[in-house]
Structure 1
Amino acid sequence: MNSNNAIFLLLLSVVLLPLYASAAARVGGWSPITDVKDPHVVEIGEFAVSEYDKQSKSELKFVTVVRGETQVVAGTNYRLTVTANDGGKSKNYEALVWEKPWLKSMNLTSFKPASNGRFL
């Protein structure tokens, strides 16, 4: 290997290694949702409240998504703080929804009152 090739490979690794490390850190990790008004994020929030109502025989009414994070798994986990009306009072809830878009499938994994507006 001549010195030009060695220098090229060294420079290439210096450029690509941080990109690879950054991508590797995101796989399986939680990433913030920057646009909670995105129609798909709102759909996930509406699904979470609706599914919770079905499972618990509650009558919560979806209001909005306050904040959220996503996690890439075999599909995507959405960890959302949603606001819902409960008997005329607005309350925040933490919802975890697992979506497999290629199957057009969503599952409500967890739904509970939010604690101090923070994810647990």
Structure 2
Amino acid sequence: MSALSTNLETTQLLSLRAKIRRRSTVTMRSQHCLLLFLPLLALFPLFDGVSSAVVGGRQVGLVGGWQPIKNISDPHVREIGEFAVTEYDKKAKAELKFESVVKGEYQVVAGMNYRLVVAAKDGGVSAKYEAVVWEKAWENFKNLTSFKRV
């Protein structure tokens, strides 16, 4: 009986050792994955600027939502407003003359959408218009999406 008992204890001991090895292997794999993942976490601050842009002299974020343009006298904002009026004139065979940007909002998309209220003269009479312009500055691309009197 004692040989059977010793043999049973040896089998249990070997089984226990195998379980410990499997657990330590899983633990080591988990630690290895964690060590590979941690450096990636350190890279997240580097990509913070990917979803941001510079509008009116300040860096902005919030991909998808419309945000007010704080500095409507910024030369780039004025350029977008002038582009909107000029492009509308070409498409509608109109003769509006750009005066100023009254107010505006921007939206970060695959590029930037600008929703501007511009003042323009039509035959000497000043009126306000809402223009939406999509811009991809890195491609030197602008597209007038909509233009209507408000």
Gaps of 5+ in 2: 1-51, 53-60
Q: Which one has the bigger helix percentage?
A: 2
Which of 36, 46, 66 does residue 30 from structure 1 map onto? Answer: 66
For 1:34 and 1:82, how far apart are their aligned partners in 2? 15
2:91 alignment partner in structure 1: 55
Q: Does residue 77 of the first structure (1) align with residue 113 of the second (2)?
A: yes
Matches within 5 A, 1:109-120: 109-114=145-150
Could you say which structure has the greater relative contact order, defined with CA pairs below 8 angstroms and 6 or more residues apart? Answer: 1
Gaps of 5+ in 1: 1-22, 115-120
Matches within 5 A, 1:8-27: 26-27=62-63
- When the two chains are superposed, the root-mean-square deviation of aligned CA atoms in Å is 1.3
- Structure of higher CA gyration radius: 2
1:102 alignment partner in structure 2: 138
For 1:29 and 1:77, how far apart are their aligned partners in 2? 10
Alpha-carbon shift at residue 100 of structure 1 (Å): 0.3
For 1:42 and 1:103, how far apart are their aligned partners in 2? 19
Which of 57, 76, 80 does residue 40 from structure 1 map onto? Answer: 76
- Runs of 4+ with deviation above 2 angstroms: none
* Structure 1 length-normalised TM: 0.74
Deviations 1:40-87 (A, max 9, x none): 000000000000000000000000000000000000000000000001
Question: Amino acid of the residue matched to residue 52 of structure 1?
Answer: Y
